Chain A
Amino acid sequence: DTAVSQTPKYLVTQMGNDKSIKCEQNLGHDTMYWYKQDSKKFLKIMFSYNNKELIINETVPNRFSPKSPDKAHLNLHINSLELGDSAVYFCASSLPGQIYEQYFGPGTRLTVT
């Protein structure tokens, strides 16, 4: 059974387009995250939602907009894609509250041409 799933796995698109990445978790977690991993493998938090409410919003361009229709889903919509957006995007989830293990999805490799 897949714990944290993302679609699509690969996404190739042109500059200026708008695209979405979907994330779903079946772990019953209340908290979900989006991370960006650049070409040097650096993992950086972008957003965190707890029970559909935004709780972490790092310095991310407002072209990136997370949407959480319910606590099992956290989608990432990106407007006006730029070359620098090319990266691997990971969704993760965890139990709510203080400090718990985060479970990561398999990642979505976004390539902007």
Chain B
Amino acid sequence: GENVEQHPSTLSVQEGDSAVIKCTYSDSASNYFPWYKQELGKGPQLIIDIRSNVGEKKDQRIAVTLNKTAKHFSLHITETQPEDSAVYFCAASTMGTGNQFYFGTGTSLTVIP
């Protein structure tokens, strides 16, 4: 099955700086890559996603890039704010597997005011 690795496990940045979280996946058939944000005591919430026919997607301060050849994808958060502090999860999914998500191990992001 799919194996998703995520780095770093913890990340601290100063407010206003950028944060980058990287994930790699093993199954070349994976074609959907969502990113979820989990705040303390809450369920994960989708913040951005990308499909394998797209190399980059941006939504305001958040962007995701995908390199299918290298089998890695990254989350970029610019102009970080304290409310960006949370645990971020990447995931990979393969068409035909019943929408099964394989999650990375999570990155705890702290934005220091």
Contact = CB atoms under 8 A, between A and B. Distances in A.
A104 B32 contact: no
B106 A42 contact: yes
Contacts of A41: 38, 87, 105-106, 108
Interface stretch (B53-61, B68-76, B93-101): B93-101
A104 B105 contact: no
B106 A48 contact: no
Given A55-B98, A99-B32, A99-B93, A44 B103 contact: yes
B113 interface: no
Contacts of A98: 95-96, 99
Contacts of A104: 36, 43-45
Contacts of B42: 106-107
Interface of A: 4, 31, 40-45, 48, 50, 55-56, 90, 92, 94, 97-107
Contacts of A101: 34, 46, 49
Given A43-B103, A45-B101, A4 B95 contact: no
A102 B46 CA distance: 8
Given A98-B95, A99-B32, A107-B42, 6 more contacts: A42-B106, A56-B100, A90-B43, A99-B93, A99-B95, A102-B34
11 contacts: A41-B106, A41-B108, A45-B100, A45-B102, A48-B98, A98-B95, A99-B32, A99-B95, A99-B99, A105-B43, A106-B42
B100 A43 contact: no
A100 B91 CA distance: 12
Contacts of B46: 101-103
B25 interface: no
A45 B97 CA distance: 12
A43 B89 contact: yes
B31 interface: yes
Given A41-B105, A42-B106, A100 B43 contact: no
